[in-house]
Structure 1
Amino acid sequence: MFMCGLATVLQCFLGVRLPIIQGGSHTFVAPIVVMMSLERFRCPDNAEGLDEQSGNNTVIDWTVRMREIQGNLILASLTQVLVGSLGIIGTILRFVGPLTIAPTVSLIGLSLSHVVAMFCETHWGISMLTLFFLLLFSVFINKVEIPIPSFSLKRKCHMKKIPVFQLFPVVFSVAIVWIFSHVLTVTDVFPNNSTIIEYKARTDSKMEIMTKAPWFTIPTPFQFGIPTISAAGYMGMLAATISSIIESVGDYFAAARLSGAPLPPAHAINRGIAFEGVSSIISGLVGAGHATTSYSGNIGIIGITKVASRTVFITAGVILMVCGVIGKLGAALAIIPEPIIGGTLLLGLGMVASIGISVLQFCDMSSTRNITILGVSFLMGLMIPEWLSENSDRVKTGSDELDQVIRVLFGTASFAGGFIGFLLDNIVPGSKHERGIDRWVRLSDNGESEPEVDGVYDLPFVTKYIRRVRLCQLCPVSPTFVKYRKSYLKILAPQEDRDTKSDRENCKRSLVELNSDV
């Protein structure tokens, strides 16, 4: 939790500078599981943990495993920093249009439907009640303003009307349903038997977290020893890192769309990916056991609350850091009943899926070409990961490392669907207007076509000094980065300008011919 907060502060303040919460990436679970299945990390055959010769308890040194996870995570994250700093992602984005972004972003939400169902199935009634209050506060009565006592130097004490339901729909919904669940817990409406799935709807189902959590804990580097690395572990972590990068790029566009900000330019995306790598390196050093990435569910909350202030999200990051240091505070958040979390995710991830679909407004959806590409991308993005989860042993290329990379990459729906969309969109013939590339890049290229609003993606305090150094224009993470701007304008010049130029040349040719005839 401490690392989630630190990564959020770094990303919102210095990284992509969009309101995005950072958190532990589930994508890295798969390579960790594969890594731990190696011969030197397997548990002893005696399941009881006893030494068969002496009969004494054997201690399995789990810190050896943690050091292996840390080392490979640091190495893969260092690669991510290089990818962002060298502008590789920004270069690839020159060929990315709405037909790539739409499946990438939408499948982030759709592919996590099983996670939402896992939370909701603990008690569908509580989950639907949470969803009901979320919809009530965020859609039906979101414009209702409540008088709130306020104070200002100019007006002193006064009453101010604030749309509190629009600002705090999640807080109100969780609080109301949590209190209701507590009443049902006290009256023993929910079962006491922990083997029954509805038991997780009780407010005391995870109380042991509160009792076991320490009051204070300080993350320290190398607390498990010096990290170790291996080729197989690095390749697995690298595959998860690539998948996380693709998902994060989709999140950046979704966050910008929901925030009403200009679409992120190349330098902001490069910087965001680089700082995700920096945060993941720190995670590896302190032994958090996971990399950090953008949290899609929190992006959906922006659409519900209409709050996209960087100050708010940086404050949230500070709160997460405090909760990570003060163990009891973090534990208090962790005991929220699972069906309440499921109801919240249901709306949040649904918003992310719909944001991906909304990107299609830039391309011609009456085109059979576009409809075909989109349909194949969505279906393949859902089908390939499902097939791999059931037939992972059938991926055999002759290299264990390559097999692991393929399983992790194409086991992620957003990467699989986005890759298919990217490939088809760039090889199937179609005009830039039909593909939506011209309008998409013109909207993204804020430096030439649509000025950035209040320097949204400028670095704080130092941008005015960076602008004085012309060499910074070649740095992929600099706000003044303009390496590809001329090529953008040349390739994606407005159609009417090209038509006017062509008409002018034809007119000149006709005049020459007329004069020669005379």
Structure 2
Amino acid sequence: MVTNQSPLQMNCLTLEQYARHWIFPNTEDSHPERYSSLLPMSLLTALTDVALVLCVADSSTMAPEKDSNGLDNYGFALEGRFRDLPDDDADSSEEEDNNKLAYCVTDVPPWYLCIILGVQHCLTAFGGIIAIPMILSQGLCLQHDGLTQSHLISTIFFVSGVCTLLQVTIGIRLPILQGGTFTLLAPSMAMLSMPEWKCPSWTQNATLVNTSSPEYIEVWQSRMRALQGSIMVGSLFQVFVGFSGLIGLFMRFIGPLTIAPTISLIGLSLFDPAGTNAGNHWGISAMTTSLIILFSQYLRHIPVPCPYYSKAKKLHTTRVYVFQILPVLLGASISWLICYILTKYNVLPTDPAQYGYLARTDLKGDVMAQAPWVSFPYPGQWGMPTVSLAGVVGILAGVISSMIESVGDYHACARLSGAPPPPKHAINRGIGVEGIGCLLAGAWGTGNGTTSYSENVGALGITKVGSRMVIVASGVLMVVMGVFGKVGAIFTTIPSPVVGGMFMVMFGVVAAAGVSNLQYADMNSSRNIFIFGFSMFSGLVIPNWILKNPNTLATGVIELDQVLQVLLTTSMFVGGFFGFVLDNTIPGSKQERGILAWNKAHEDDSSNTLESGEVYNLPFGINSRLASTWLQYLPFCPPSVPRSMEGSGADINALEPKHHLGHPQPAPIILAVPL
């Protein structure tokens, strides 16, 4: 708010600058000439005189802001610039101020801020990234091979970083991070549970396993090569759908009643690994779960004092919402530390036969010593990939689910980063690049694919930093983490009960995220209730029965039996299939089905002032090169801009972004939290 001092007494602005700000509140002090040129000089001078009178009058009637610390002052920013005064409705004004972005998608924060925020995004995604190799290790017979697990973690970090750089650079071009996907985890585990891929009994006994023996290496590498080939072939379908523009055709028939059971059953189908790991010590897993819930739900709005240095205020303390940003990392780290203390003082049992032994932190103590400092993952590091029809068909079901989920993430990311809704060519390119990412993940041997991370999209709303350069920094950091083998080795020492506690929270959130899609449909409709309920129940019953009676699928054709085995034991496919068929065959209006609300939610524009081409066009001058060729008509290429529009000053809003998006707010940001 404005203080009682007259403008003449204010040392931060001159009278003329104050008047210009009163007339053009969204204009930077250092560039008034850009807006001054829009008015005749005589009119501008007259308005300036009037503004001076009104400003002096305003300053004499407004009370000073009490207990102001410079961060909650609407009249002033830390750099001494005047900002918009609040409206009469203080609550709505405060809400609008809280929703403003510090950096929009095209802004470039300082390099040190990019690194800090990039680390934060890596830590936000770490839970989902390391969970996938840990779950896959059970199907790959790697439970007792910590060194190979560390190689898998390093590989998935490396590939996730490469795919993130590709997506931000030539893909959707939004600040969206790429990582492993749970949608491919379900069909992968279904494939590895087939009789021919079940782990030999001797690999389940830690005392009988010699992890360096050729026999053992062939056991897990043969399974990994089968996964690699299936993922690589399945990813070609995603590449084709993306770059051909067919994703738009798919989305016409897919609504909330298809997406809800599909996503929900991903989380529900993973209850077994969550329960198995947590059951190794329910006390430790309950503590981990409780800590994550405490940090993410109860303490998320409580700031933590943290030292901060600025030129204006020197060394001082500021507020950082640590619990809101890193709940999983904090909860797992504290539980990990407690397990280490209990191990050091032999509180946990030392006998492998006793309950709670697996909560010790020294079970894989030699992994840190054996892991190399530097190790470059490369394609085909586990051997030549193999292909099976059953594996490819199962992976295709996961790929389709991943594409649907990513389209929703693109729209959410655009809204939170201050960008216009993504056009068709950008969505096509994003899906195609995700397919390329899955192809690379299969070639490198992660045992998984890549997809957009919803957790990091949500982090944009928390941090108010939507710059894609931050995600570029995250991609580079993940590549570096993948190269340093010790990083992956550290994660393998996490006790399994701690991992189980993490899984219980993470998979529960995945299941709930699927159900949240029902908000678009009319759930007072008996039609919709039936479709969702039947799809969910079928997705649980049928796979469970097939797993208990695997020999009942005997058509006489081995390949067909394998395909049916993989599909019918994948809960996500069964539930999504019934949801898709019933939703598109049972009569119902688009409003009742939730199609209209779903489309409207994806089309709603945020308060952005950026042009679509400014965000989604290809970089490095590729657009200008495509404009003169037939390539501009491809579904994934941006349309050419008429030369008559280039350099046109007709639309001043298109050329000059608003202050709060085009230029960073002058408020300090610590760990991406605008204060």
1:239 to 370, 379, 393: 393
Structure 2 counterparts to residues 310-459 of structure 1, below 5 A: 314-445=472-603, 458=616
- Cα deviation 1:356-388 (Å, max 9, x = unaligned): 222212111111111111111111111222222
- Cα deviation 1:182-239 (Å, max 9, x = unaligned): 11112222111224452221111222322332222222344566x465xxx3423321
Structure 2 counterparts to residues 82-481 of structure 1, below 5 A: 82-152=240-310, 156-223=314-381, 227=384, 233-252=387-406, 255=409, 261=416, 267=425, 269-286=427-444, 288=445, 290-294=447-451, 302=459, 314-445=472-603, 458=616, 461=619, 465=623, 469=627, 475-478=634-637
For residues 359 and 303 of structure 1, the distance between their equivalents in structure 2, rounded to whole angstroms, comes to 20
For residues 410 and 190 of structure 2, the distance between their equivalents in structure 1, rounded to whole angstroms, comes to 30
For residues 465 and 276 of structure 2, the distance between their equivalents in structure 1, rounded to whole angstroms, comes to 29
Q: Is the 8 A contact 1:244 1:293 kept in 2?
A: no
* Structure-2 change in CA distance of 1:82 and 1:255 (3 Å): closer
Residue number in structure 2 paired with 1:28: 188
Q: Quote the offset at 1:279 in angstroms.
A: 2.4
For residues 350 and 423 of structure 2, the distance between their equivalents in structure 1, rounded to whole angstroms, comes to 54
Q: Is the 8 A contact 1:242 1:409 kept in 2?
A: no
* Structure-2 change in CA distance of 1:66 and 1:126 (3 Å): closer
Q: Is the 8 A contact 2:411 2:422 kept in 1?
A: no
Q: Quote the offset at 1:4 in angstroms.
A: 3.5
Residue number in structure 1 paired with 2:235: 77
* Structure-2 change in CA distance of 1:400 and 1:58 (3 Å): same
Residue number in structure 2 paired with 1:6: 162
Q: Quote the offset at 1:300 in angstroms.
A: 10
For residues 195 and 464 of structure 2, the distance between their equivalents in structure 1, rounded to whole angstroms, comes to 41
Q: Quote the offset at 1:445 in angstroms.
A: 4.1
Q: Higher mean Cα deviation, 421-430 or 238-247?
A: 238-247
* Structure-2 change in CA distance of 1:425 and 1:381 (3 Å): same
SS in 2 for 1:160: strand
Q: Higher mean Cα deviation, 99-108 or 369-378?
A: 99-108
Question: What percent identity do the matched residue pairs reach?
Answer: 36
For residues 464 and 564 of structure 2, the distance between their equivalents in structure 1, rounded to whole angstroms, comes to 38
For residues 624 and 636 of structure 2, the distance between their equivalents in structure 1, rounded to whole angstroms, comes to 11
For residues 128 and 11 of structure 1, the distance between their equivalents in structure 2, rounded to whole angstroms, comes to 37
Structure 1 runs not aligned, ≥5 long: 43-56, 482-518
SS in 1 for 2:450: strand
For residues 85 and 460 of structure 1, the distance between their equivalents in structure 2, rounded to whole angstroms, comes to 14
For residues 457 and 96 of structure 1, the distance between their equivalents in structure 2, rounded to whole angstroms, comes to 27
Q: Quote the offset at 1:99 in angstroms.
A: 0.8
Residue type at the aligned position of 1:5? G
After superposition, the CA RMSD in angstroms is: 3.9
Q: Is the 8 A contact 1:4 1:22 kept in 2?
A: yes
* Structure-2 change in CA distance of 1:243 and 1:35 (3 Å): farther
Structure possessing the higher relative contact order (Cα contacts under 8 Å, 6 or more residues apart):
1
* Structure-2 change in CA distance of 1:234 and 1:78 (3 Å): farther
Q: Quote the offset at 1:70 in angstroms.
A: 4.8
Residue type at the aligned position of 1:77? S
- Cα deviation 1:137-191 (Å, max 9, x = unaligned): 2221211122322234565544322222212222322222222111111222211
Q: Higher mean Cα deviation, 116-125 or 79-88?
A: 79-88
- Cα deviation 1:302-327 (Å, max 9, x = unaligned): 59977885556554443433232221
Q: Quote the offset at 1:119 in angstroms.
A: 1.8
SS in 1 for 2:356: helix
SS in 2 for 1:366: coil
Q: Quote the offset at 1:429 in angstroms.
A: 0.4
- Cα deviation 1:13-42 (Å, max 9, x = unaligned): 54454644412743335446769669xxx9
SS in 1 for 2:351: coil
Structure 2 runs not aligned, ≥5 long: 1-154, 201-212, 641-675
Q: Quote the offset at 1:443 in angstroms.
A: 2.7
Q: Quote the offset at 1:253 in angstroms.
A: 5.7
For residues 426 and 91 of structure 1, the distance between their equivalents in structure 2, rounded to whole angstroms, comes to 14
* Structure-2 change in CA distance of 1:273 and 1:243 (3 Å): farther
For residues 578 and 623 of structure 2, the distance between their equivalents in structure 1, rounded to whole angstroms, comes to 42
SS in 2 for 1:292: coil
* Structure-2 change in CA distance of 1:36 and 1:69 (3 Å): farther
Residue type at the aligned position of 1:85? F
SS in 2 for 1:336: coil
Q: Is the 8 A contact 2:190 2:569 kept in 1?
A: no
Q: Is the 8 A contact 2:305 2:318 kept in 1?
A: yes
Q: Quote the offset at 1:340 in angstroms.
A: 1.6
- Cα deviation 1:69-124 (Å, max 9, x = unaligned): 65554344333322322233331111111111111122222221222212211111
Q: Higher mean Cα deviation, 61-70 or 199-208?
A: 61-70
Q: TM-score, normalised by structure 2?
A: 0.59
For residues 427 and 121 of structure 1, the distance between their equivalents in structure 2, rounded to whole angstroms, comes to 43
Structure 2 counterparts to residues 476-515 of structure 1, below 5 A: 476-478=635-637
Residue type at the aligned position of 2:401? E
SS in 1 for 2:318: strand
For residues 244 and 562 of structure 2, the distance between their equivalents in structure 1, rounded to whole angstroms, comes to 26
Q: Higher mean Cα deviation, 187-196 or 324-333?
A: 187-196
For residues 60 and 34 of structure 1, the distance between their equivalents in structure 2, rounded to whole angstroms, comes to 19
Q: Higher mean Cα deviation, 315-324 or 80-89?
A: 315-324
